[in-house]
Structure 1
Amino acid sequence: MNTADLGLPVDVPSTALFTDQYELTMLQAALKAGTAERRSVFEVFTRRLPDGRRYGVVAGTGRVLDAVENFRFDQDVLGFLRRRALVDDETLDWLAAYRFSGDIWGYPEGEVYFPGSPILRVEGSFAECVLLETVILSILNHDSAIAAAASRMSSAAGARPLIEMGARRTHELAAVAASRAAYVGGFTSTSDLAAGFRYGIPTVGTSAHAFTLLHDSERDAFRAQVDSLGGGTTLLVDTYDVTEAVRTAVEVAGPGLGAVRIDSGDLLLVAHRVRQQLDALGATDTRIIVTSDLDEYAIASLAAAPVDAYGVGTQLVTGSGHPTCSMVYKLVARAESADPKAPLVPVAKRSTGGKTSIGGRKWAARRLDADGVAEAEVVGTGPVPAALADRQLLVELVRGGTVVGREPLDAVRDRHTAARANLPLSATQLSRGEPVLATEYLQER
């Protein structure tokens, strides 16, 4: 869901300067050389997954579509480029009329991916496609990293809900994108109101330790919160003594207290003790929420604990140790000339050092075994084998410059749940390992 879905007016600024200078200098040189209008195909892919990860998660596609729509060189942007003398007048005139008019295909958001997967394919003139490199990569690299971490955490959490609480641990704008990506990966709510406003994600939140410390006693703080928010609220019980706080919380709110939150200590031990105490006090339906620097490993270690929900911050918004996916945006095919009918020829970087790529406009499909479980990621440049015709992964996102692939965020979230469930069981193991699916290449001869 985006703000348009909510009927909320949002002033969206130009995304044209979310780019690197060399994209504009390449454009200027190509215009002078007469090669700028050559039909070109760029692809986004990663050569490897972050160390130890079994699969990646495509996230940020919806934000990419918004960025492409708003990639406009308005007068303020053009004035900046002119004052800095970054490009010549001919290039400025070309940029003033810029509107992406090409096509974009890609893995649907929420889908999983593997090394070599053509996650996004951008087609049009070299000039209009090359400008989009940085903004596309900055969105996909960030959001996919967060979604992958969120997916691992939601897998470890099982049916227990996850709350995204990382806004204070990252840049204020990145926090909104992180909330969206976390929701794609399986989180159920966020503490960030901007994310709730922009994307319709459910928001939650009650109080911090400061609220307890403000009052003359813990009882006074609990009473103030219950009087304001009702007995179904969540009371933070680890400011002083947890046992005393739980007793006071039930006395103030009654056995119908909604939840207690634990934010420090040995969470496994404390959760068991709090559950026993709540049950003894008759608060059998009061939930236990735990926070405190959780990651997927900590969540997995609490699987046997009487915990009802997890709040995750720092480790989520930093990708749980992998804040980027190392995706790249490479030219894989271009026309022999500027003639619109000129045939495409594959191109690829061939230098040594582990940064080679495979040329050609690619398709991708996921082959299933006899039980309907995914067994290989198949990427090709020639005809699609008949056996894989109905297993193709790329979908149309932009046609002739018009976005055609925007979809509700809940649909994206559901897609990820289904895609992950279709992988071999070893995909959800937290131990280090190789990608759960091998990538097979079928190249046209």
Structure 2
Amino acid sequence: MSTSAGWHQPRTSLFTDHYELTMLQASLLSGAAHRKSVFEAFARRLPDGRRYGIVAGTGRLLEGIAAFRFGDAELDFLSSTGVVNQEALDYLADFRFTGDIWGYAEGEAYFPNSPILIVESTFAEACILETYILSVLNHDSAIASAASRMITAAGSRPCIEMGSRRTHEESASAAARAAVIAGFASTSNLEAGLRYGLKTVGTAAHSFTLLHDTERAAFEAQVASLGPGTSLLVDTYDVETAVRMAVDIAGPTLGAVRLDSGDLVEQAQWVRQLLDELGNENTRIVVTSDLDEFAIAALQSAPVDAYGVGTSLVTGSGAPTASMVYKLVSRADNTGEFVSVAKTAKDKISKGGRKYALRRLDDHGMASQEIIGVGHRPVDDGNDRPLLQQFIKNGELLPGWTGHEGVLRARQRHADSMAELPAVVHRLHRGEPAIPTIYEEN
């Protein structure tokens, strides 16, 4: 499946754990592999002190499921290493997902036990997707959740994702996508630009200045090449000298100066004053340097125009995984009737049954509860919003959820979801989930 001109989704079938395939082999032997089953991905809790999470990765996941095939190379590997027997190899050779997948729209806010993704298929089909589903949703949702908090702290000031050098190369493009869904304006990652149609930005690092014999020579070369609207990095040597030099070279149309070290609050204040005195009232100030949502919040009073965020973003700002799990919650019995199943270990209790979910809204359109119906659709009190959307029907990917269109749709869903949540979600200090999760039993 192609998501953007020039890039094609690679096979994803071995992005999985060994035991997914040994379960397949054993269930083929027992005859249970073809039992109709319902699996659910959810998070039992939010990261410590967080008030909400943001679903991300769904579009990437759906693209990957569409490409989930076992070709000759994969089958040869599984055969030569003895991972599974011939019966399982024969099954995998013809594998394609043929079931249904529902879930929260990408960009949606979620809470403890929200049924974020529901897979309805045979046990065999749902089982071998488990690791891939969790690896995508856990990573991307962790990044989007952190990014959403940063966007809240930044207010109307744009944030730039620039964490590619602080994570795995494949994780970098996924993180950029998740950050843009949560409100980031752009990314430095070119692969993400190609794959998902994201806006990419960047100018120069300190090495560019150090390469030249003088700072002036570096600035002159950058302005000559990129135009006066470029952003000049002014803290390689002396900031005041560099700002004056930048204005002298680029003139009043200098796009921005970037600060990457020191006391950013104090420095931004006097740099703003200096720029104004020099006649560059429209030159923006961009700050970087290990920012997270708390540092961004601390810069609210400073005359900063944009934030570049790297390490903290791509590591989830202290919560690098969303801690989602994927559980069998319902299956057909020997008569074909569905029965609820669940793990009952006291420290990891799950609730069985196919789930349905809606967000309860008050008369002002503000969210007050997450209502989950177990085995049935919960009662809508008249202005509630259904949360589950269908992504795949009978194995066919439904339109609108992937590629650049999917990113734009998810970005809008994030903005709309945040607008209907109580104001407490804008607080960065530790607290309970913004709204409670309520179960409606049969």
- The code of the aligned residue for 2:214 comes to S
Indicate the residue corresponding to 2:356 in structure 1.
363
Please say if residues 3 and 197 of structure 1, whose CA atoms lie closer than 8 Å, have aligned partners that are also in contact: no
Structure 2 partner of 1:88: 85
C-alpha displacement of 1:405: 4.8
Q: Residue by residue, what CA displacement relative to the aligned partner does 1:107-146 show, whole Å, maximum 9, x if unpaired?
A: 0000000001000000010011100000000000000000
Distance 2:380 2:278 in 1: 64
Per the alignment, residue 194 of structure 1 pairs with 191
2:391 equivalent to 1:393: no
Q: Is 1:264 the counterpart of 2:264 in the alignment? A: no
> Structure 1 vs Structure 2: percent identity of aligned residues?
60
CA distance in 1, matches of 2:131, 2:180: 24
The secondary structure found in structure 1 opposite 2:413 is helix
Deviation string, structure 1 residues 273-298 (Cα, Å, up to 9, x no partner): 10000000000000000000000000
**Matched residue of 1:261: which SS?**
strand
Amino acid at match of 2:192: A
1:351 aligns with 2:355: no
Alignment partner of 1:143 is 2:143: no
Give 1:50's match in structure 2, choosing from 47, 64, 87.
47
- Are residue 228 (structure 1) and residue 228 (structure 2) matched? no
Q: Residues 206-355 of structure 1 correspond to what in structure 2 (within 5 A)?
A: 206-337=203-334, 342-352=336-346, 354-355=347-348
Residue pair 1:145, 1:323 contacting (<8 A) in 2 also: yes
CA contact (8 A) 1:377 1:440 kept: yes
CA gap of 1:214–1:386, structure 2 versus 1, over 3 A, is: closer
SS at match of 1:148: helix
Q: Equivalent residue for 1:376? A: 369
- Change in CA separation of 1:86 and 1:3 when aligned onto 2, cut-off 3 Å: closer
Cα distance in 1 for residues equivalent to 2:362 and 2:409: 26
SS of the residue corresponding to residue 36 of structure 1 reads helix
* Amino acid paired to 2:441: Q
Residue 9 of structure 1 and its aligned partner are, at CA, apart by 3.0
By how many angstroms is 1:3 displaced? 5.3
Q: Report the equivalent of 1:440.
A: 438
Report the secondary structure of 2:365's partner residue: coil
What amino acid does structure 1 have at the position aligned with 2:373? G
* Aligned equivalent of 1:69: 66
Equivalents in 2 of 1:326, 1:128: separation in Å? 23
**Partner letter of residue 73 of structure 1?**
F
8 A contact 1:39–1:335 mirrored in 2:
yes
From the superposition, tell whether residues 177 and 292 of structure 1 become closer, same or farther in structure 2 (CA, over 3 Å).
Answer: same
> Structure 1 CA distance, aligned partners of 2:169 and 2:192?
11
Q: What one-letter code is carried by the residue in structure 2 that aligns with 1:70?
A: A
Confirm or deny: 8 A CA contact 1:72 1:99 kept in the other structure. Answer: yes
Moved over 3 A (4+): none
> TM-score normalised to the size of structure 1?
0.97
Offset of residue 39 of structure 1: 0.2
Deviations 1:295-322 (A, max 9, x none): 0000000001100000000000000000
Render the CA deviation track for 1:170-208: whole Å, top value 9, x for unaligned. Answer: 001100000000001110000111111111110100001
RMSD: 1.2
